[in-house]
Structure 1
Amino acid sequence: MEPNIELQQVIYSILKIQIQFGVYQHGDRLPTIKEACRIFQVSTRSIRAAYQNLQKEGFITISQKVGVKVKVQYSTTENERYVQSFFSCRKDALIDLSRSMQPLFSKAQWLGFQNASPELLDNMEQFIQIKGIHPSNRMIQHLQQVYGSLHNDMLMRLVWQVLMFYQAPFMSIKETAEITHPKENPLLRMIGLCREKNWMQLQEDVETFQAQMATVLDGFYETRACLPPAEQQIDFYWSGYRKTSQKCYSLVIELLTDVVRGTYPVGAFLPSAEKLAKEKNVSVSTIRRTLSMLNCIGAMKSINGIGTQVLPPEQIAQCCDFTQPFIRSRLLDYVQSLQTLTLSCKEVAQITIASINRTTAELFKKRLCALRYLQHYELTGYGVLDLLSYFAPYKTIRTVYTELFQQLLWGYPLKSIHKKQDVMETFYLPCLNYLLDCLGRCDAAGFAAKLEEFMLYELDNVAELLNEVGFKESETPFLSKR
């Protein structure tokens, strides 16, 4: 079995930055494979693959006698040059990301602490108290353990990307580590609050720590960064897939989006594989694999000699084989994305509604009124999430929400078995009307709270639907731990 390519690359990138920044210097020993597994909470295969890449690039040497040692020799001046260059090229993205942390992650981190077992809390506390471990590595394990307790792989892939792009490099600067980790370790305090079940104070501490990190980053750019921002800035990027090379998945989402928007209505035939390949700038074989996936999830049916036809909603579930591993994996992507959105939608909606102008507020109203006119009340929350992916005040949030929203289309096979008619008038319509009322009153807090209520209700519905198609509760533990 191949190591997780994504984790391998993340670990490689973090260790490379730590060497370039001077956390590990010439002749220093890196953690053993066993120690690194404990820090990163990953398999030995992923660690070994990352170390082999570092060795291949000339950063380290590996031997059975002395272990893993830093080979390159950087002067203090060179270390500083790497620090300055790294943050110069990422200033815009890092400041934006630091300000997005609280709305995107505070609820998830808070809930992760609540879900942590007493044994996990003990392990976290013991690791914090071990001497000689760099603060950046302490943070890596802490985030892995806290978010890992939610059992949401989609969320964890996002956490890894943020770690690699922002937190691990920033915590690898000596001054930053000292400021954000004073004598009274905030993580120890959070663990203590968990044991006391003081959830209100814990939430405040989580948000305070995230705000503190953003403030320290602002201070870094004001007083420590010497180079002006690079003209060519590096943006924050994230893909919800384990491997960024899974082009077919992206094409499936593109074509499903076209179906939902009416570009290809029910009963219509898609262009030929050759024409689609030319339009999408991919090979015909890639298009054929994509069409096979669309057939597999019940969205379309390929007819020999005729073409690939869009199926009506009532036939989707009948044509979808829910026992297929591909289907089950993509449905997990769907529900994990749904949970990740639910955990952050209240905070994201509140700052978005509070920041939009009158024209954008009218666009929100227009979208909700259209859903009411078409009597698609059950799509209210999804319509709002789509708008948030365009109008959230921070680019990082827009990037993350766009990716998560697209992942929701993997829930397409469940479309025809939604049983919500009995609650259309009693729950969905009142939610829609309340959101419209909040927009009229400029009530951002009320709007955000109602959106979260809607999404939590959706999670309950999804749990029931997955049970209907044969998913065991053990396969989706995150649904019962929100």
Structure 2
Amino acid sequence: MEKSSGLYLLVYDFYEARIRFGFYRYGDCLPSISHICDTFHLGRATVRAALALLETDGYIDNRERRAARVVYEADHGRYAENAWDYYMPRKDGLGEMREAGRLLIRPLWEAGARRWDRNRWEFYCRNLSGILPGDPPPSMELHLLALMELDNQLFLNLYWEVLRYIRMPSLVDRGKMKSPITPDTIREGLDSGDVVAWMNRAVRDVYVPLEEGLFSFIHRETAVRGAEEIESIPFQWNIYRNRPQMRYTLASILIRKILYGVYPVGSYLPSLPELAERYGASLTTVRRTLALLEEMGVTESFQGKGTLVCMKRKRLDLEKSEIREGLRLHRESLQFLRLTIRGVALFTLERASVGKRAALEGKLRGMLEQGNSYHCFEIMLMFIREECPLAMVQECYARIAELVAWGYPFARLLLPEGELGNAYALRVERMADCLCREEFEGFCNQWTALLEQEEEKISELGAQAGGC
């Protein structure tokens, strides 16, 4: 079984790290399949796939109707070596994870948790009583449950990818695994009047000691081993799609190239072989991509002439799985931006130079003069990718930019003919004015309002398609 992107890798990585770092040792048993399913909110087939891969890689003996037993043998030195090999290349990414998590993860989980009433919190309190010493921390359980409230696969996916990257609880000895998050302390939080704020403090109390312990380990090992030149491994957001074919990524790339004038409306795209070579795709993938773009009114193919960029308003067949998938991804990306843009934009603007902020204002005003106000999404996402000092934020907003590009054909469908160019002009003008006056809060307010408006439109379109 290959280690390709899939949810089973969340379980695999969790237990692989615990075994390789010495949390579980030779002869120990892992929890039952049913317990792992409940802990990670995943199906039995997914958990079985993870255990099968752990067995293939020599970590466990996985027998039918018996708990999986650890067969990996190592001494203390080997465990330390394993931890060093994993964490040292990732120390830069882990060093910014607390701040990046505050900007990207906390707004998402808070939005879900604030939907719970006291009865729901009490229900989850009772569930926490079944957590075992080797399980993920209770904070992870509550985060996952809160994110599930929002019905957004991107949110869950991002959180899973963060968990796979950090693996920090794996360095803690079993006898020291204690958490301030228990049924009793959650009830204290409920009585405090703002349980979400209380949970944020509790999560910080869990995470900060883990982070300090990790960097203490890195500094200690560095003193012993000496400084080494090790290539850094940054956080990467691998989005699991229902259909992970290259054509969806290539379609997004081509739409963005068209918006930027690389392939202007009225021109022809390069030939199929040229596109295949330029973007590292097969001819079959290119053909399928162009067929998808034609379905969306982005291009039109002519026998013997090539593929014309037309960007015409076209009634989309919302029953087609490819269109529904693009619509879902676009809706979820808008919701992600709506919940995170305020914190991310403020953080970035406050750290960008005066010249960079002036350049952003100039681009916004330039769009108004050219009648291209719909470029505002791409312009803002590019500004954050280039100016935010946090690599994780850059990575996440780069992935979101790919998904937001799917919205262009949908926007054409939702607006009257000829109105797309100035559809966002009023908001863009207000944004530019706020930047001119250095009113960053006002700038973020305009962005939040625009994203709320767009998300509502796309959600209504998704409802017409039977829910996306």
| Residues 24-39 of structure 1: pairs in structure 2 closer than 5 A | 24-39=24-39
Measured in 1, the distance between the counterparts of 2:191 and 2:298 equals: 50
Structure 1 counterpart of 2:213: 220
Q: How many residues align?
A: 460
> CA offsets per residue over residues 424-457 of structure 1, 9 Å max, x none?
9999545333322332233333322332222112
Measured in 2, the distance between the counterparts of 1:107 and 1:260 equals: 30
Structure 2 counterpart of 1:71: 71
Letter in 2 for 1:6: G
With over 3 angstroms needed to count, the CA separation of the structure-2 counterparts of 1:211 and 1:323, relative to structure 1, is: same
Letter in 1 for 2:168: F
> CA offsets per residue over residues 353-374 of structure 1, 9 Å max, x none?
1111011111111111112223
Say whether residues 1:471 and 2:435 are aligned partners: no
What secondary structure does 2:405 align onto?
A: helix
> CA offsets per residue over residues 127-148 of structure 1, 9 Å max, x none?
3223533352534433321211
Measured in 1, the distance between the counterparts of 2:26 and 2:58 equals: 12
Measured in 2, the distance between the counterparts of 1:437 and 1:209 equals: 40
Identity of matched residues, %: 21
> CA offsets per residue over residues 200-222 of structure 1, 9 Å max, x none?
x3453354456556644553355
- The structural deviation recorded for 1:123 is 4.5
Measured in 1, the distance between the counterparts of 2:240 and 2:27 equals: 37
What secondary structure does 2:407 align onto?
A: helix
| Residues 143-162 of structure 1: pairs in structure 2 closer than 5 A | 143-162=143-162
With over 3 angstroms needed to count, the CA separation of the structure-2 counterparts of 1:285 and 1:380, relative to structure 1, is: closer
Measured in 2, the distance between the counterparts of 1:43 and 1:49 equals: 10
| Residues 174-185 of structure 1: pairs in structure 2 closer than 5 A | 174=172, 181-182=178-179, 184-185=180-181
| Residues 17-416 of structure 1: pairs in structure 2 closer than 5 A | 17-64=17-64, 66-116=66-116, 121-130=121-130, 132-134=132-134, 136-166=136-166, 169-174=167-172, 181-182=178-179, 184-185=180-181, 189=185, 193=189, 198=193, 201-209=194-202, 212=205, 215-216=208-209, 219-220=212-213, 222-225=215-218, 226-228=220-222, 231-242=230-241, 246-314=245-313, 317-318=314-315, 320-377=316-373, 379-416=375-412
Letter in 1 for 2:321: P
> CA offsets per residue over residues 36-72 of structure 1, 9 Å max, x none?
1101101111000110011111110112353211111
> CA offsets per residue over residues 84-137 of structure 1, 9 Å max, x none?
332212100111222200011221111111234767534431232235333525
* Structure 2 length-normalised TM: 0.88
With over 3 angstroms needed to count, the CA separation of the structure-2 counterparts of 1:109 and 1:410, relative to structure 1, is: same
> 2:247 touches 2:285 (CA, 8 Å); kept in 1?
yes
What secondary structure does 1:265 align onto?
A: coil
Structure 1 counterpart of 2:225: none
Measured in 2, the distance between the counterparts of 1:197 and 1:369 equals: 47
> 1:27 touches 1:69 (CA, 8 Å); kept in 2?
yes
> CA offsets per residue over residues 169-204 of structure 1, 9 Å max, x none?
11222279958x54x4278655765x6694xx3453
Per mean C-alpha deviation after superposition, the further-off stretch among 296-305 and 50-59 is 296-305
Per mean C-alpha deviation after superposition, the further-off stretch among 451-460 and 31-40 is 451-460
**Larger fraction in helix:** 1
Letter in 2 for 1:306: K
- The structural deviation recorded for 1:327 is 0.9
Measured in 2, the distance between the counterparts of 1:176 and 1:96 equals: 27
With over 3 angstroms needed to count, the CA separation of the structure-2 counterparts of 1:335 and 1:177, relative to structure 1, is: farther
With over 3 angstroms needed to count, the CA separation of the structure-2 counterparts of 1:212 and 1:344, relative to structure 1, is: farther
Measured in 2, the distance between the counterparts of 1:297 and 1:207 equals: 43
Per mean C-alpha deviation after superposition, the further-off stretch among 365-374 and 130-139 is 130-139
Q: Which runs of 5+ in 2 are unaligned?
A: 223-227
- The structural deviation recorded for 1:415 is 2.7
With over 3 angstroms needed to count, the CA separation of the structure-2 counterparts of 1:435 and 1:217, relative to structure 1, is: farther
What secondary structure does 2:68 align onto?
A: strand
With over 3 angstroms needed to count, the CA separation of the structure-2 counterparts of 1:158 and 1:352, relative to structure 1, is: same
Letter in 2 for 1:274: P
What secondary structure does 1:312 align onto?
A: coil
* Structure 1 length-normalised TM: 0.86
With over 3 angstroms needed to count, the CA separation of the structure-2 counterparts of 1:7 and 1:425, relative to structure 1, is: closer
CA RMSD of aligned residues (A): 3.2
Measured in 2, the distance between the counterparts of 1:425 and 1:293 equals: 24
Measured in 1, the distance between the counterparts of 2:283 and 2:139 equals: 45
Letter in 2 for 1:390: E
Structure 1 counterpart of 2:457: 461
Measured in 2, the distance between the counterparts of 1:38 and 1:398 equals: 33
What secondary structure does 2:329 align onto?
A: helix
> 1:381 touches 1:451 (CA, 8 Å); kept in 2?
no
> 1:36 touches 1:47 (CA, 8 Å); kept in 2?
yes
Letter in 2 for 1:64: E
Letter in 1 for 2:35: E
- The structural deviation recorded for 1:272 is 1.4
Q: Which runs of 5+ in 1 are unaligned?
A: 477-482
Measured in 1, the distance between the counterparts of 2:290 and 2:421 equals: 37
Letter in 1 for 2:34: K
With over 3 angstroms needed to count, the CA separation of the structure-2 counterparts of 1:447 and 1:420, relative to structure 1, is: farther
> 2:100 touches 2:393 (CA, 8 Å); kept in 1?
yes
Measured in 2, the distance between the counterparts of 1:210 and 1:353 equals: 27
> 1:106 touches 1:203 (CA, 8 Å); kept in 2?
no
With over 3 angstroms needed to count, the CA separation of the structure-2 counterparts of 1:212 and 1:432, relative to structure 1, is: farther
Measured in 2, the distance between the counterparts of 1:187 and 1:232 equals: 43
> 1:301 touches 1:310 (CA, 8 Å); kept in 2?
yes
Measured in 2, the distance between the counterparts of 1:187 and 1:392 equals: 38
